[in-house]
Structure 1
Amino acid sequence: MDPVPDLELSRVMATTPERIWAAWNDPDAIARWWGPDGFTSTVRALDVRDGGRFDVVMRGPDGTEYTNLYLFEDVDPGRRLAYVHQGSAEWGLAPSRSVVTFDVEEGGSPRTRVTLRSYYASDEDRRRHLEDFQAAAGARQLLERLERAAAA
């Protein structure tokens, strides 16, 4: 049985898993959707495969930069991504793990349910992500932005 995630969000997107997967693999597309509203992102490295890495700098509306490094553990193209965020000593965050799944929804038009599950290292780390950094709202906005990028 899988552990219960600390954060779980789903969004049904009006597009195919292939288009969503393409948005995950294009640094220019990621620059448009990675992060919450008002943030911009610069991709420094992107290699979406088992053992690959995603190195990105997010800039908040106030100009604050957040350097993030993610290591991919388990990648099933167009179906599943599991990665570990390496944490941040600067922001007091321990490494955390996330799993993103892509599930085709039944119906006439293309629809894909994208689910993001995140697992934090401790109760304090969960509190910091969810309260201090508003991770749930940010993740919701990220999924909305991903849908727009994948549909473009």
Structure 2
Amino acid sequence: MASVQITRTYPTTPEHVWQLWTTPEGIVSWWSPDGFTVEVGKLDLRPGGDLIYTMTATAPEQIAFMESHGMPLNTESRKTFVEVSEPGRLSYTSLADFIPGVDPYDFLTVVELQPVEDGVRVTMTADAMHDEEWTQRLAAGRANELDNLGRVIDAGVRA
């Protein structure tokens, strides 16, 4: 698998999605997959700037998964922004340094926000990870995050 691409359309504006994607309050409202929470430690929204956050497993099934795979319940993650073009395009590299037995590496994610008749189309494209299993986990996690983003938008949350 060369990359993972996920597309969703939301009944809102690109500017609203941009705010949810690029502010600490917005990120905390939807970023983590189900069964996890996220806390933003640093957000420097510019090319070369970093987003540093801690993701914590909170649900029993996620805690059991993390423990059974020898992974910590709290993981600090770092993304480095490559492109910041408000409100249409955001790209960043993610440091995968949490996988037991795998040397750390970066992978790129590109997010495109396109106005459409019924709202905004969000297309997220991420590089494949080091193997098919982890690429599938990435795809499932990102799809879940975008579903969470949709629930936040439907609830009328503003960043």
* TM-score of the pair, normalised by structure 1: 0.83
Matched, 1:116 2:121: no
Equivalent residues of 1:35, 1:139 under 8 A apart: no
Is 1:96 the counterpart of 2:99? The answer is no
Cα distance in 2 between the residues matched to 1:88 and 1:104: 35
Number of matched pairs: 141
Secondary structure of the residue aligned to 1:140 is: helix
Q: Post-superposition shift, 1:16?
A: 0.6
CA distance in 1, matches of 2:152, 2:53: 17
Take 2:6 and 2:20, find their aligned partners in 1: how far apart are those partners?
Answer: 19
Which residue is 2:44 aligned to?
A: 47
Gaps of 5+ in 1: none
Q: Residue 51 of structure 2: SS of its match in structure 1?
A: strand
What percentage of aligned pairs have identical amino acids? 28
What is the RMSD computed on CA atoms of the aligned residues? 2.0
> Contact 1:95–1:120 (CA<8 Å) still a contact in 2?
no
Unpaired stretches in structure 2, ≥5 consecutive residues: 64-71
Say yes or no: does 1:136 pair with 2:144: no
Q: TM-score, normalised by structure 2?
A: 0.79
Q: Which residue is equivalent to 1:105? A: 116
Residue 29 of structure 2: aligned partner: 32
- 1:75-90 aligned at under 5 Å gives the runs 75-88=84-97
Matched with 2:132 is 127
TM superposition shift of 1:141: 1.1
Q: Cα gap change, 1:32/1:23 in structure 2, threshold over 3 Å: closer, same or farther?
A: same
Q: Is the 8 A contact 1:29 1:149 kept in 2?
A: no
Tell me the distance in 2 between the aligned counterparts of 1:82 and 1:25: 11
SS in 1 for 2:40: strand
